[in-house]
Amino acid sequence: MRKLAVLLLFASALTSFAIAQDKKFLGRWDLTVTGDKEYPSWLELSEKDGKLTAQFTGRWGNARPLPKAEMKDGTLTFVSPKEEEDATADMVYEGTLKGDMLSGTVNAPKGGQWTWIAKRAPKLDAQKNPKWGKPIDLFNGKDLTGWTMSDPKATNPWKVIDGALTSPEHGPEIISNQKFKDFKIHVEFNIHGTANSGVYLRGRYEAQIETDSANEGPEHHTGSIYGFLVGDPKPPRQSDVWQTYDITLLGRWVTVVLNGKTIIDHKEIPGLTGGALDSNEADPGPIYLQGSEVGHVAYRKVTVTPAE
């Protein structure tokens, strides 16, 4: 009987140790997936009712719950469905933890194997009562000075038309040469007809601009931080009129004012939007304007006021 009790105690200790080891994987992670190029991604692992759950931002799109995430023998496995990845098969990520870094492999979308690494996402608290510097006009109203296109050889490049920075249909992204950490930004934009664009804050978090997502959830609508935060009250969908964004980003805490109305008030952005430039959340980053997926979008004012 005593021997059985010792064995049960030993088994319980092993189970407790395994659970403790598994808990080291919990939390938010900033991923870099390396294949034909580097793809910033994001992962949040949680425990619910004794089971591991995962939320994941892949190469594009927004964070979404994953159908499978598990820990076994010190190896983390999670699955991103092929439908979300434009892949021939589900992308199965496997990785192990060494120190405070995850690393592993994943099957590539069109065959072969890619590698990935992940570091813990920083907390990024908001500074209180920031002192603001001088406003910086990123667009001079004349040309593309101060900006770089993601694809300089694109057939549909950004142009200045009637004093507005304009993205044609299926155009590349355009990225400010200057980088910022904490800041306020004022943007004046016009969505022509049916279009889809966005303002990426630090090149990582998208303030959505669109008129083509009426059938999608409100987290995909103008006024949202794409996939994470929803504007409330819900703003009307408008095209062919000039609108304004006034956004404050402190740490990972954001306030969004659309057309003079506060619709997101000091809320936390959990992680990256798909299409982010990198996954280095603690670093300053540029302002990048998404090339319109359909139609075209114009910007006539992009002014950043950095916190000192």
Q: H/E element holding 266? A: strand 261-268
Q: Are 43 and 270 in contact (CB under 8 A)?
A: no
Bridge partners of residue 102, in order along the sequence: 97, 118
Assign domain 2-120 to a CATH class: mainly beta
Query: Average pLDDT, stretch 199-213?
Result: 96
User: Which pLDDT belongs to residue 27?
Assistant: 97
18 or 59, greater pLDDT: 59
User: Which pLDDT belongs to residue 3?
Assistant: 53
Residues of the chain with CATH 2.40.128.120: 2-120
Backbone φ and ψ for 166, nearest 5 degrees, come out as -120, 130
Each residue of 32-86: pLDDT tens digit?
A: 999 999 999 999 999 999 999 999 999 888 999 999 999 999 999 999 999 999 8
Query: Average pLDDT, stretch 183-198?
Result: 96
pLDDT interval class at 164 (50, 70, 90): very high
The pTM is what? 0.91
Residues of the chain with CATH 2.60.120.560: 136-306
User: Which pLDDT belongs to residue 45?
Assistant: 98
Residues 6+ apart with CB under 8 A from 49: none
Measured CA to CA, the distance from residue 14 to residue 208 in angstroms comes to: 48
Each residue of 230-275: pLDDT tens digit?
A: 999 988 889 999 999 999 999 999 999 999 999 999 999 999 999 9
Q: Are 64 and 81 in contact (CB under 8 A)?
A: no
Measured CA to CA, the distance from residue 224 to residue 208 in angstroms comes to: 6
Q: What is the CATH number of domain 136-306?
A: 2.60.120.560
